Amino acid sequence: MGNVLPAAPLATGAGFAYGRDPGWFERAKGAVMRLSNYFLPTLKETPAGADVVSHQLMLRAGMIEQISSGIYNWLPLGARVLRKIEAIVREEQDRAGCQEVLLSLIQPADLWRESGRYEDYGREMLRIQDRHEREMLFGPTNEEQITDVFRHHVRGYRELPKVLYQIQWKFRDEVRPRFGVMRGREFLMKDAYSFDLDKEGAQRTYNRMFVAYLRTFARMGLTAIPMRAETGPIGGDQSHEFIILADTGESVVYCHRDWLEADFLAEDADAEDPAALVERWTRTYAATEDMHDPARADELGDALIERRGIEVGHIFYFGTKYSAPMNARVNAPDGSKVPVEMGSYGIGVSRLVGAIIEASHDDSGIVWPEPVAPFHVGIVNIKTGDETCDSVAEDLYRRLQEAGVEVLYDDRTEERPGAKFADMDLIGLPWQVVVGPKGVQNGVVELKYRRTGEREEMTPETALARLCRPC
């Protein structure tokens, strides 16, 4: 400073000016990282006390670290995956016409007394007294809180329907937390709440959310099978769980083998009536153990399969369970005041990180579906310090970055090639480019597709063209 330049106004009156450097956003898009700088504390040994493979792999891949029973810190690699899942969930909620809010983590106990759940919820609810000895709690879910928001502001049927959602931390003081982030105490959840005038409207909203859920999970590379479910402590009339199949799943599920090949992304979901989509996607048999119907299942014969499953989403239509006791009413067209019809819709955002790994790993480590991979390409320089290897690898790194591809470059000097390969397989990036001294003498690098292990030698130019194609 000293000679302070005159400030140009942020907007000049003609069009936008998002700051003087439009390149910022571009550069931020394709995040890149050198492994020598990255905080990626991988472990060679499987840590004790991790009971399922996703928990083991998340610890070994340096994604998380436990700080207390069922409570985790998310390290950079884990945080990246969490943010990617969060972004997909947000986009699909927005696309379905939901509006994002953020409800406070700490809630007053009195709200829960109104619904009658304060005592019901038991010791799983983390109860807190503040400095003025007010009874508070760390929210395990938010039906009461959102009903309170609604009743303060919405008066008439013309304002309906509405779906509000948030992506926010929750706390449930599980007596025995386990399965790593899949049944932790503190967890990140997307929870949406819907408000409709009547049952027909509520059913339409339920169907719309059902379709949004199929799409959300499909975009993550998952087949999440909708299964009719018990409504449990949320209460209500109708409920579906969305369950992905994994050998290490927490519960037994039964379904038609067609589900193994189901592909919701092949649907033109925008063009079709949600009710028809729901009808089509609930026609094929699928049931949790609780809801299993042996008679109907017998009809499937050989086509019936029994697997283990992990719940990644759960939707509920519960009518006036909260709106009636909490007096959340709207003026109906006939002039009467009626309690609003509600539903709630959860996705376990942090749980999904573990669930995806359960569904997608091999003996060498994680195999990320591309839409949620922390980086898309890993470059392995197997002889850092060798002039040609460094030059080829650095050039690839720079050019992938310029193309907006997310790259992690293993430029470490102190690790042997075997350790680099093992780490790269462990963290499961979809694509690896291996740069070694023999190859570069012949003008080639090796491109490896992590999921199948396929490898192919090619020139760096060809590798770039393959990796950048649709970027």
102 belongs to the binding site for a copy of itself (CB under 8 A): yes
67 belongs to the binding site for a copy of itself (CB under 8 A): yes
Stretch that binds a copy of itself, among 51-59, 73-81, 291-299, 340-348 (CB under 8 A): 73-81
Characterize the bridge pairing of strands 365-366 and 337-339: unpaired
Q: Which is nearer to a copy of itself, 231 or 369 (CB)?
A: 369
Residue 304 identity (one-letter amino acid): L
Among 54, 56, 107, 115, binds a copy of itself (CB under 8 A): 107
148 belongs to the binding site for a copy of itself (CB under 8 A): yes
Among 46, 47, 51, 99, binds a copy of itself (CB under 8 A): 99
Q: Residue 237: which of 347, 344, 98 has the closest Cα? A: 344
Q: Binding string, 308-337, against a copy of itself, x = CB under 8 A?
A: ------------------------------
407 belongs to the binding site for a copy of itself (CB under 8 A): no
DSSP string, 4-18: PPPPPPS--SSS---
CB 312 within 8 A of CB 242: yes
User: Which residues is 202 bridged to in the sheet?
Assistant: none
Q: Binding string, 189-228, against a copy of itself, x = CB under 8 A?
A: -----------------------------xx-x-x-----
266 belongs to the binding site for a copy of itself (CB under 8 A): yes
CB of 66 to a copy of itself, least distance (A): 9
130 belongs to the binding site for a copy of itself (CB under 8 A): yes
Among 262, 291, 303, 324, binds a copy of itself (CB under 8 A): 262
DSSP string, 286-309: EEETTT--HHHHHTTGGGEEEEEE
Q: Residue 466: which of 419, 399, 418, 414 has the closest Cα? A: 399
397 belongs to the binding site for a copy of itself (CB under 8 A): no
390 belongs to the binding site for a copy of itself (CB under 8 A): no
Stretch that binds a copy of itself, among 50-58, 106-114, 198-206, 307-315 (CB under 8 A): 106-114
Stretch that binds a copy of itself, among 88-96, 381-389, 415-423, 438-446 (CB under 8 A): 88-96
Tokens linked to 364: 């060498």
CB 304 within 8 A of CB 254: yes
CB 170 within 8 A of CB 187: yes
The structure tokens 């975009």 sit at: 219
**Which residues within the stretch 11-50 sit at the binding site for a copy of itself (CB under 8 A)?**
11, 13-22, 24-25, 27-28, 31, 33, 36-39, 41
Among 290, 327, 443, 471, binds a copy of itself (CB under 8 A): 471
Q: Which is nearer to a copy of itself, 185 or 351 (CB)?
A: 185
Instruction: Report the Cα–Cα distance between both ends of the chain, in Å, rounded.
Output: 40
Q: Which is nearer to a copy of itself, 164 or 234 (CB)?
A: 164
CB of 441 to a copy of itself, least distance (A): 26
CB of 55 to a copy of itself, least distance (A): 16
75 belongs to the binding site for a copy of itself (CB under 8 A): yes
Using CA atoms, how far residue 456 sits from 139, 261, 378, 449, in Å, is 51, 28, 15, 9
The structure tokens 């955002």 sit at: 349
Among 114, 118, 121, 173, binds a copy of itself (CB under 8 A): 173
Burial of 12 (0-12, 13-18, 19+ CB in 10 A): exposed
295 belongs to the binding site for a copy of itself (CB under 8 A): no
Q: Which is nearer to a copy of itself, 58 or 467 (CB)?
A: 467
Per-residue exposure over 440-463, b if at least 16 CB sit within 10 Å of its own CB, e if not = beeebbbbbebeeeeeeebebeeb
Among 105, 252, 275, 297, binds a copy of itself (CB under 8 A): 105
409: left (phi over 0), alpha (psi -120 to 50) or beta: beta
Among 118, 162, 228, 320, binds a copy of itself (CB under 8 A): 162
453 belongs to the binding site for a copy of itself (CB under 8 A): no
Q: Which is nearer to a copy of itself, 20 or 438 (CB)?
A: 20
**Which residues within the stretch 355-374 sit at the binding site for a copy of itself (CB under 8 A)?**
369-371
Q: CB-based contacts of 317: which residues, under 8 Å, 6+ apart?
A: 202, 203, 206, 236, 237, 238, 239, 341, 343
**Residue spans of beta strands (DSSP E) within 117-220:** 126-129, 135-138, 162-171, 186-196
Q: Which is nearer to a copy of itself, 6 or 301 (CB)?
A: 6
275 belongs to the binding site for a copy of itself (CB under 8 A): no
For Cα atoms 232, 236, 242, give the angle at the middle one, nearest 5 degrees: 60
CB of 283 to a copy of itself, least distance (A): 5
3-state secondary structure of 275: helix
CB 256 within 8 A of CB 303: yes
